[in-house]
Amino acid sequence: MIIGIVGTLGSGKGAAAEYLAKKHNFTYFSVRNFFAQEVLHRGKMVTRDAIAQVADELRAQYGKTYAVEQLVGHTVVGKNIVVESVRTKEEAKYLKEKGALLWAVDADPQVRYQRILKRDASVENVSFEQSIEKEVKEGVLAETISMADTVLHNNGTKEEFFAAIDSALAKAAQKV
């Protein structure tokens, strides 16, 4: 089973992917980390803007599905995989063509912003207004989220979120 995870900034995409990896033995790939590694390779500081710039450059050079192709293209068939930080509709379509389910993770904007504040400031140093502005600029994300097979809301406790993931996973397993 392949699950692609799309979601808003600070919604819990990484927490969902980590949970699937630890609790359900999924192999965990992150599109964001793929581009962050390239930022480091280029000798730059990893910031949200630097990651976005490198992602744009690589997608322009190699195609809009470049990262997910690199991550998923070399995996063993039949293995459970989670791909976190799916951003574009092309990435979502590519994964769905590989038989993936697309899960969207979202939370209230203020909840998400409080999570962002707890992160490394060098990566996420933005005000609440800037975080909302960045989401508006990244309007393509809304289109990708609309493609989701399942939407998980992450406004409560970790336990509630993980229970929702378990429920979604059980439903997905019944369909396979």
**Tens of pLDDT along 5-14?**
999 888 999 9
Over residues 89-112, the pLDDT tens digits come to 999 999 999 889 999 999 998 898
Picking from 21, 20, 19, 12, the residue whose alpha carbon sits closest to that of residue 119 is 12
CB-CB contact of 154 with 104 (8 Å): no
CATH of 2-175, one of 3.10.350.10, 3.40.50.300, 3.10.20.30, 3.50.50.60: 3.40.50.300
Burial code (b: 16+ CB inside 10 Å, e: under 16) for 58-77 equals: bbeeeebbbbbeebbeeeee
Tokens representing residue 108 in the block: 């209230």
pTM of whole model > 0.85?
A: yes
Say how far apart CA 68 and CA 76 lie, in whole Å. 14
